[in-house]
Amino acid sequence: MVLGMSDPAGHFAGRYLDAAITLLQRVRDEEGGPIAAAGAAIADTVAAGGRIFAYGAGHSSLAAQDLVYRAGGLALVNLLVVPGTVGVDVMPATLGSALERVDGLARVCLDASPARAGDLLIVISLSGRNALPVEMAQHARTLGLTVIGVTSAAYAKETTPRNPSGTFLKDHCHVVLDSKIALGDAELTAPEIPAPFAPASTVVTSALLQAVMATAAVSLAERGFAPPMLRSGNVEGGLEWNAEIVERYADRVFWRQ
C-alpha cells in the first residue's frame, strides 16, 4: 500500500489497521479448510493422550509463545525452545537469525526435548526457507509427530530454499496454514521513507493460531472431552482452576517444570 506523506499521520495508523484487517479477512475466507484440519489434528492428539509443542524462531516465536500458559488457551501447549532463537533475547539480536541457518541444530534440540511419537508440533516460520524450521518439521515427522506448519505461501513462490534439503517448511507438514503475508512483511510504503514498514505477520499469525485453538477446543467438546483450558489468574477462582488443570495433566504440561 503506497502512501503519500501529505496524508495526516493518523491516516497511516488507520491504513495499517485496514491492511491487517484485510489479511485477517483473507485468512478467514481462504484458510477455513486448513484451520479445521489443524484444529482436528490437535483435538485428536489431546484425546489420544499426546502433548502439544509450538516452535518459532525470532519474531515467529511470539506467536508460539502466545499459545503457552495463556488465559483462555489450551493448557497442554508447550514451547519447544532452541536456545538463542526465542525472540530477540540474545545479544547481538542478529545471532538468532544466524542460528536459524545452522544445519543440524533442530535435530539436536528436538531429540533433547520431551517430544515423542504421538505428539503434535506446530512450526511457525514466515519464510519457511531456513534450516532450523525446515529440519524441525522434517525430523519431527521421522519421530512420529504430527506437524502443523504456519508460513507464507508467497515466500515459497518468490524465494529459494536456504537449507541443505532444498525444500520449504510447507513440504514437511501434515497441515499447512498460509498467513497470506507478502514477501518482505511490510504493509506500508511512503516516498519519504526509504524502506517498506509496518509488519503484520505477528498480528495475523497469532490470530490464525488462536482460531485453530478455538476449533480444537470445540472439536474436543463435541466428542464429549472437556478441553483443558486455562482461566485468567486475575479473576476469582482462576488460580485454583489452573492449579487443578495442571495437576490433572502434569505429565503433559512442561511449562511448570
pLDDT in tens, 116-126: 999 999 999 99
On whether the pTM is more than 0.75, the answer is yes
Please report, for the chain, the start and end positions of each structural domain, with discontinuous segments joined by +: 9-252
List pLDDT tens digits, range 38-83. Answer: 999 999 999 999 999 999 988 999 999 999 999 999 999 999 999 9
Length of the chain equals 257
d(CA 108, CA 98): 17
What is the dotted CATH code of the domain comprising 9-252? 3.40.50.10490
Q: Which amino acid type is present at position 9?
A: A
Can you tell me the distance from the alpha carbon of 6 to that of 4, in angstroms, rounded to the nearest whole number?
5
Look over the chain and give the mean of its residue pLDDT values, rounded to a whole number: 94
Angle CA 57–59–62, to nearest 5: 95
